[in-house]
Amino acid sequence: DAGVIQSPRHEVTEMGQEVTLRCKPISGHNSLFWYRQTMMRGLELLIYFNNNVPIDDSGMPEDRFSAKMPNASFSTLKIQPSEPRDSAVYFCASSYAHWNTEAFFGQGTRLTVV
C-alpha cells in the first residue's frame, strides 16, 4: 500500500482565499483524522471520521474550517477564507478503528497564508 497520501505537499495562498487540502487514507482503514501542527500549539486534532461520518469536530478552530469525507477513500479539509494564523502543517492520518491500533500519517501539507 502507498500509505496515506496528501496533496498538495506545499500550498502558499493569499489571505482571504479558499484553500482545500486533500487526503486519501489507506485502503481498508475506516477511521480518518485531520491534525494541525504548529510550533506554538504542537499537534492538535481537528476532526475525526469513522466510517465516513464525522464523529468529533470539537477541535475545528472556527466556522472557516470544514471537512468532508464523501467516501472511504477521500477526504478534504477546507479553509474559507484563509488567514495568516492558519499557516501550519496539516496532517491526515488513518487507522483501522480498533482500540489498540496505531494511526498512519501522511507526509502533511505545509500551508502558508500570506
CA nearest 107: which of 95, 94, 90?
90
Query: Residue type at 6?
Result: Q
Establish if 104 lies at the interface with other proteins (CB under 8 A): yes
Q: Compose the 51-80 pattern: x for residues touching other proteins by CB under 8 A, - for all others.
A: ----xx------------------------
- What is the closest distance, in whole angstroms, from the C-beta atom of residue 3 to other proteins in the complex? 9
Establish if 5 lies at the interface with other proteins (CB under 8 A): no
Q: Please enumerate, as own/partner, the contacts of 41-46 that have beta carbons within 8 Å and a separation of 24 or more.
A: 43/91, 46/77
DSSP 64: T
Establish if 31 lies at the interface with other proteins (CB under 8 A): yes
- What is the closest distance, in whole angstroms, from the C-beta atom of residue 90 to other proteins in the complex? 10
